[in-house]
Amino acid sequence: MTLLFELTLTFYFISTILGIVELIKGSSATARGLIIFSSIGFLLHTIHVLFRFFESGYIPVTSMHEAASFFSWSMVFLFFIVEYRYKIGLLGAFVMPLIFIMMLSSSIYPREIKPLSPVLQSYWLGIHTILAFTGDAAFAMACGIGIMYLLQEYFVKKKKLGSLFHRLPSLQILDEINYRLITIGFPLLTLAIITGALWAESAWGSYWQWDPKEVWSLITWLIYALVLHVRLRAGWRGKRAAILSILGFIVVIITFFGVNLLLNSLHGFV
């Protein structure tokens, strides 16, 4: 399994380099190479996740190594869906570096498979975590799209209509994709919080304990609820929506890493 993980990390690294090259000097070869190498990496990653699942008997998300790896897997999976649906082209250049950094962070944590603690021996483990990671992956894609939007808007305002400008989608398309991704991520996050509360009640006898992970998850939910509210009610689109989607994902990262590393949480296992 170690070899599979290292090979996955290597292919994601190559995809990241190709993405950077694509931004600087785009060509059909670099774009095609990014898709090919990230596809191979994703295949190896999937096999790695399945091996850990069959060896342990549970979804591999119960340690920082597994959680960061599975988060990366979820982002790549959704990246391919978005790329297939919208044919953005340059999206990989903006999200593969994030995916590689997430996988790199996974590599520094202990990789051994440990027996599940009693609280994790629940059918809620798979339901809750898959909902949470898929929702967060949608927010990661929205963050990438938001960065693309801000970059494209900069080109438009400065009238720097170079090659990168022509390879980026229009502002309208980027804004629409950003909105759609958040409308996917938000209900998934909502369901993740609900299932987490049901799990907490069965495990600890209380739906909500104001645990740091619960609090930061609620903050994340409120931010994306605000994004949707101001878009529908106040007409906030474009740059404001892009900035909020980026800030929202920063909070996602704080919730994922900050709570586990810096705060004493009942959710310290993921």
CA distance 202 to 113: 25
pLDDT of residue 212: 79
pLDDT of residue 194: 93
DSSP string, 73-107: HHHHHHHHHHHHHH--STHHHHHHHHHHHHHHHHH
- Other residues' Cβ atoms within 10 Å of the Cβ of residue 4: 17
CA distance 69 to 100: 10
Give the chain's count of helices (H) and strands (E). 10, 0
pLDDT of residue 264: 57
3-class SS of residue 207 = coil
CA distance 139 to 227: 12
End-to-end CA distance of the chain: 20
Which sign does the torsion angle of CA 148, 154, 157, 162 carry? Answer: negative
- Other residues' Cβ atoms within 10 Å of the Cβ of residue 260: 18
Q: Work out the burial of residue 116: count CB atoms within 10 Å of its CB; fewer than 13 is exposed, 13-18 middle, 19 or more buried.
A: middle
Q: What is the mean pLDDT of each run of 10 residues along the chain (270 residues)?
A: 90 95 84 94 96 89 91 96 87 93 93 81 87 95 94 83 78 92 95 90 77 85 90 78 91 82 55
Which sign does the torsion angle of CA 56, 61, 62, 67 carry? Answer: positive
Q: Which amino acid is at 96?
A: M
Considering the entire predicted model, what is its pTM?
Answer: 0.89
DSSP string, 101-140: HHHHHHHTS-----PPPGGG-STHHHHHHHHHHHHHHHHH
- Other residues' Cβ atoms within 10 Å of the Cβ of residue 148: 24
